[in-house]
Structure 1
Amino acid sequence: MGEDQGQFWDRVAERYAARPLKDPAAYEEMLVEVGGWLQPGDRVLEIGCGTGSTAVRLGGTVERWLGTDFSAEMVRIAQAKEAPEGVSFMQASAETEHDEAPFDAICAFHILHLLPDAPATLAALRRQLVPGGLLISKTWCLRDFNPLMRMIFPILRARGYMPEIRQIRARELRAMLTDAGFVLQGERHFGTHRHSRFIVARRAE
């Protein structure tokens, strides 16, 4: 039996934390975009926060930022960082329902394609949003990749270089969000990664 998601990310956490950004300009552009959707009084939940880089950068612009990840090692690295007041990290699965809910916004960056049951998780996230609250996501739509490139993914997975990944198309991602009770507000990509879809969706009233 292969590793589960938590085990995989625990194993690669230190290496992941030390790896430089491949496209710093695109990341900075994303931070500006996300910040434009948030308000100073917002309470934000981030699932799949990893080593906490985005929480540290944006957490000081809102009232509360709770970063969660299913990897204990990722959370440990995040907790060691100097974060703004109101930012905290905890180990939790993506579908965990938190006592602090409801949130004004939920961020899910590069995690929806890693979930074994994304529709169930989206339903749990919707329940934790205020009416009209935002789900701000960025998701790899690997099914839209060149077929030759997609052949590499199972090889990388078998060799332990890649976690279990759900291959979806951008149109399937949009349908998944609308089926879960969200209204799409905007979609784009940053830099050259056009298959990494940034989508903002609002919880339907």
Structure 2
Amino acid sequence: MLTEQELKELYGKTYVEAFGAQQSQQRLARLVPLMKLQPIDHVVDFACGNGMLLPMVAGRVQSYTGVDFSQDFIAAAQARQAASGVAGAYFVCADIIDFCAENPAKFDVAFAMDFSEHVYDEAWVMLLKAIKTSLKPGGRLYLHTPNATFFLEQMKARNFIVKQFPEHIAVRTPEHNVRLVEKSGFHARAVHLLPHYNILRFLHGLSGLPWVGKYFQARIFMEAVLPC
């Protein structure tokens, strides 16, 4: 098990530069129609990375705040904002638990996009409980993550032909994700099982097959809510 310091070291300048070069915006853009965003919403994007989500939601909400513990990612996110000219957006380099303690009941929506697979179960529950305190009553959490049931993730878990990304330390099944979210005080209102965002998306048509279909559902997108 990697220590907290070892995990932080994974997300230095080299990782940030590679992430920016390799990640497709389609990965997140296709999720926006599934989000129930309103013009009055104040949203917070936890583990915001280089701020890729910002231009996709900026015109749909009142304000956006991105939070990440990597100063390199925050610098990349601020550069993206400057280039796009998006106003009403803020980026904060901070520990999530500390940030939430300083911003209680402030936000309507929280995002955790491709974040939970980077965090062990115990730490993820702690983070979810902190995120819960930053949301207003009835607040929503949107979570996007790889599906451990997907055949490629099964291969990675067994080190068969392909290897897991070193930063992906906790890829989970849909059921496991729901269990942790609800343990933290949220209600999982909707769970969508989606295609991959690269060429493997063409295999999603096989997800309707009996018995084996679940192995072709690559990604999980969840909407979880707090009681009003």
State the TM-score bracket (shorter-chain normalisation).
0.7 to 0.9
| 1:40 counterpart residue number | 39
Query: Residues 119-198 of structure 1 correspond to what in structure 2 (within 5 A)?
Result: 119-142=125-148, 144-146=149-151, 147-152=154-159, 156=163, 162-192=166-196, 194-198=217-221
User: Which residue of structure 2 aligns with residue 77 of structure 1?
Assistant: 76
SS in 2 for 1:80: helix
Q: 1:6–1:72: 8 Å Cα contact kept in structure 2?
A: no
Q: Highest Rg: 1 or 2?
A: 2
How far the C-alpha of 1:178 sits from its partner, in A, is: 1.2
In the alignment, residue 60 of structure 1 is paired with which amino acid? G
Post-superposition offset of 1:87:
0.8
CA RMSD of superposed structures (Å): 2.4
1:20, CA displacement in angstroms?
4.8
**For each residue in 1:79-103, what CA deviation from the matched residue of structure 2 results, as whole angstroms up to 9, or x when unmatched?**
0123421111121233331534421
Distance 1:109 1:27 in 2: 8
Structure 1 portions without partners, runs of 5+: none
Cα distance, 1:56 vs structure 2:
2.4
Q: Provide, for residues 77-132 of structure 1, a one-character-per-residue CA deviation record: whole Å limited to 9, x for no partner.
A: 11012342111112123333153442101000011121231111111011111111
Q: Is the 8 A contact 2:42 2:64 kept in 1?
A: yes
Per the alignment, residue 13 of structure 1 pairs with: 16
Partner SS for 1:84: coil
Asked if structure 2 preserves the Cα contact closer than 8 Å seen for 1:9 and 1:71, the reply is: yes
More deviation in 188-197 or 55-64?
Answer: 188-197
The residue type paired with residue 22 of structure 2 is R
Which moved further from structure 2: 80-89 or 63-72?
A: 80-89
Report the alpha carbon displacement of residue 167 of structure 1 after superposing the two structures with TM: 3.4
Cα distance 1:79–1:114, how it changes in 2: closer, same or farther (>3 A)?
same
**Counterpart code for 2:7:** Q
- Write out the 4+ residue segments of structure 1 that deviate beyond 4 Å after TM superposition: none
- Superposition map of 1:92-107 within 5 A: 92-96=94-98, 97=100, 99-101=102-104, 102-107=106-111
- Separation in 2 of the partners of 1:5 and 1:184? 28
What's the counterpart of residue 112 of structure 1? 116
Quickly say closer, same or farther: Cα 1:59–1:99, change in 2 above 3 A.
farther
Q: What SS does structure 2 have at the residue aligned with 1:39?
A: coil
Shift of 1:176: 1.0
Cα distance in 1, alignment partners of residues 73 and 17 from structure 2 = 8
Which segment is superposed worse, 125-134 or 55-64? 55-64
Say whether the 8 Å CA contact 1:7–1:71 is kept in structure 2. no
Q: Distance in 2 between matches of 1:109 and 1:20?
A: 13
TM-score by length of 1: 0.84
Identity of aligned residues (%): 20
Pair 1:169–1:140, CA change in 2 (3 A): same
Instruction: Report how far residue 59 of structure 1 moved.
Output: 2.0
Q: Structure 2: any 5+ residue segments left out of the alignment?
A: 202-216
Q: What letter is aligned with 2:137? A: P
